[in-house]
């Protein structure tokens, strides 16, 4: 298998943009990606494009990848829309990596785009709900936040995880997001304010839930040989793993872990010949604060049941021994579903190259980072390990 590198990465601003179309958002990310390539960027070299998209609200469900590809100047290529709920972008990146590893194409675009704020709240909830088991979960009355609330309740019951631990995740990620010029929410919050927010699905309140977001991201993936013409400092895809799980949480063996994360991480660690101890920073899928706590444990950063203490001791803070979600995460940066996975790659590309926009978010001298992108309540997961 060929070595695979990322040589460019771009992202639009995340937020609410009623005046921008899906095509315009993707072009913004594509243009940002092109400008990040050190030299010799030529769109004619791109042989394929894999675009993550859930199609929230039902907009342009058919031929979306062709639509946005031709709009940025890439007609007549192999293009494919990747849909695995909130993990669509992570799977787009994995698919691009497999394409290049197999030798089908030398240069490939992986990206994602979503326009979520143009529809009503009730319609948005409907589309988010189909990421779980429609027949036995959504039609029975559960919501996306309700499913994660059940996971949080069980984790608190079994391990004594506190409500404060959930809010600590929100405070940390808003602190980081306040320094990210492309984040949806660029403001800090306090522990007191986060804990006092209106309840959404007990024990999760408003500050425990990520937002609905418009946005796009794009990364340029290529072979090691092709990378030489683009840059002297590529970021290597050292390993990746994907896994599915039972969609309905009542079918799973346990509800205090995401087995899909464990299996995807194991595969990524094995491919990269690394373990959790080698990861210096991570972007994890904090669609809800409990999801970040579960990720600490499922990725092997701490033992099962110790996530509360892990954040309490400051390990995932910038300046801690393994910063998590220096971008602000989904909680503060935003969660434009199809764009989230490649948006994580955008953040890690600049972290590992030392080119983060604001110095306060830059993790110094990091060489190995991990991306963790979850679909729905854990039905699909993509884990990717990047190295400088």
pLDDT per residue as tens digits for the range 307-331: 999 999 999 999 999 999 999 999 9
Nearest CA among 351, 356, 32 for reference residue 179: 356
Task: Tell me if 102 is assigned to some domain.
Answer: yes
- Mark 256-273 as b/e (b = at least 16 C-beta within 10 Å): bbbbbbbbbbbbbbebbe
The helix-helix angle for 163-177 and 289-298 (nearest 10°) equals: 100
Q: Give the domain CATH number at 309.
A: 3.40.47.10
Separation of alpha carbons 269 and 205, rounded Å: 34
Task: Tell me if 380 is assigned to some domain.
Answer: yes
Separation of alpha carbons 113 and 165, rounded Å: 32
Q: Is the pLDDT of residue 129 over 80?
A: no
How many structural domains are present in the chain? 1
How many residues comprise the chain?
388
Residue 56 in tokens: 């929230």
Task: Tell me if 367 is assigned to some domain.
Answer: yes
- pLDDT, one tens digit per residue, over 172-219 is 999 999 999 999 999 999 999 999 999 999 999 999 999 989 999 999
Separation of alpha carbons 183 and 174, rounded Å: 10
Task: Tell me if 183 is assigned to some domain.
Answer: no
Separation of alpha carbons 225 and 63, rounded Å: 32
Decide: helix, strand or coil at residue 42: coil
Separation of alpha carbons 280 and 69, rounded Å: 34
Separation of alpha carbons 238 and 3, rounded Å: 8
Pairing of strands 204-205, 215-223: unpaired
- pLDDT, one tens digit per residue, over 337-363 is 999 999 999 999 999 999 998 888 999
Q: What is the pLDDT of residue 127?
A: 61
Task: Tell me if 289 is assigned to some domain.
Answer: yes
- pLDDT, one tens digit per residue, over 247-267 is 999 999 999 999 999 999 999
Task: Tell me if 309 is assigned to some domain.
Answer: yes
Q: What is the DSSP string of 24-37?
A: HHHHHHHHHHHHHS
Q: What is the pLDDT of residue 358?
A: 81
Q: Cβ of 187: how many Cβ atoms within 10 Å?
A: 10
Nearest CA among 92, 118, 109, 85 for reference residue 18: 118
Q: Which residue has the tokens 């949080």?
A: 152
Task: Tell me if 196 is assigned to some domain.
Answer: no
Domain around 360: 4-120+211-387
Separation of alpha carbons 351 and 364, rounded Å: 8
Sequence-ordered alpha helix ranges (H) in 218-276: 224-230, 259-272
* Torsion of the alpha carbons at 259, 255, 275 and 354, rounded to the nearest 10: 100
Q: Is the pLDDT of residue 134 over 80?
A: no
Percent of the chain with pLDDT over 90: 89
- pLDDT, one tens digit per residue, over 223-241 is 999 999 999 999 999 999 9
Active site residues: 86, 335
Q: Is the pLDDT of residue 109 over 60?
A: yes
Q: In Å, how far are 31, 133, 169 from 287, measured between CA atoms?
A: 27, 18, 11
Residue 138 in tokens: 């959504």
Q: What is the DSSP string of 184-253?
A: S------HHHHHTSPEEETTEEGGGBPPP-BEEEEEEEEEHHHHHHH-SS-EEEEEEEEEE--SSGGGSS
Sequence-ordered alpha helix ranges (H) in the chain: 22-36, 64-71, 88-102, 121-129, 144-159, 163-177, 191-195, 224-230, 259-272, 289-298, 307-312, 329-332, 340-353
Q: Which residues pair with 383 in a beta bridge?
A: 241, 372
Separation of alpha carbons 206 and 29, rounded Å: 29
Task: Tell me if 226 is assigned to some domain.
Answer: yes
Nearest CA among 112, 224, 206 for reference residue 166: 206
Sign of the C-alpha dihedral computed for residues 86, 90, 94 and 99 taken in this order: positive
Q: What is the mean pLDDT of residues 365-370?
A: 97
- pLDDT, one tens digit per residue, over 269-288 is 999 999 999 999 999 999 99
């Amino acid at each position: 298998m060929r070595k695979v590198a990322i040589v460019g990465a771009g992202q639009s601003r995340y937020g609410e943009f009623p005046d921008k179309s899906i095509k315009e958002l993707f072009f913004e990310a594509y243009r940002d990606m092109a400008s990040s390539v050190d030299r010799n960027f030529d769109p004619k070299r791109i042989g394929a494009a894999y675009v993550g998209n859930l199609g929230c609200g039902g907009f342009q469900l058919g031929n979306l990848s062709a639509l946005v590809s031709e709009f940025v100047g890439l007609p007549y290529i192999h293009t494919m829309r990747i849909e695995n709920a909130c993990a669509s972008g992570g799977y787009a990146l994995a698919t691009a990596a497999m394409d290049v590893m197999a030798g089908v194409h030398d240069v490939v675009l992986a990206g994602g785009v979503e326009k979520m704020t143009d529809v009503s709240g009730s319609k948005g909830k409907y589309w988010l709900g189909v990421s779980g088991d429609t027949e036995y979960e959504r039609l029975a009355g559960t919501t996306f936040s309700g499913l994660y609330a059940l996971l949080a309740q069980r984790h608190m019951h079994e391990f004594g995880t506190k409500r404060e631990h959930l809010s600590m995740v929100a405070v940390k990620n808003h602190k980081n997001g306040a320094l990210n010029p492309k984040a949806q929410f660029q403001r800090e919050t306090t522990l007191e304010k986060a804990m006092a927010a209106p309840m959404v699905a007990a024990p999760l309140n408003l500050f425990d839930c990520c937002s609905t977001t418009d946005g796009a991201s794009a990364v340029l993936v290529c072979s090691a040989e092709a990378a030489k013409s683009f840059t002297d400092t590529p970021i290597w895809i050292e390993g990746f793993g994907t896994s599915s799980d039972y969609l309905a949480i009542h079918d799973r063996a346990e509800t205090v872990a995401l087995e899909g994360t464990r299996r995807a991480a194991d595969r990524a660690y094995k491919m990269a010949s690394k373990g959790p101890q080698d990861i210096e920073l991570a972007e994890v899928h904090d669609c809800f604060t409990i999801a970040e706590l579960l990720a600490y444990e499922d990725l092997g950063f701490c033992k099962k049941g110790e996530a509360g203490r892990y954040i309490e001791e400051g390990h995932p803070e910038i300046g801690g021994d393994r910063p998590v979600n220096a971008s602000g995460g989904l909680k503060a940066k935003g969660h434009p579903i199809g764009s989230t996975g490649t948006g994580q790659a955008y953040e890690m590309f600049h972290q590992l190259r030392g080119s983060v926009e604001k110095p306060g978010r830059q993790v110094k001298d990091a060489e190995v980072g991990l991306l963790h992108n979850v679909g729905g309540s854990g039905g699909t997961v993509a884990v990717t390990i990047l190295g400088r």
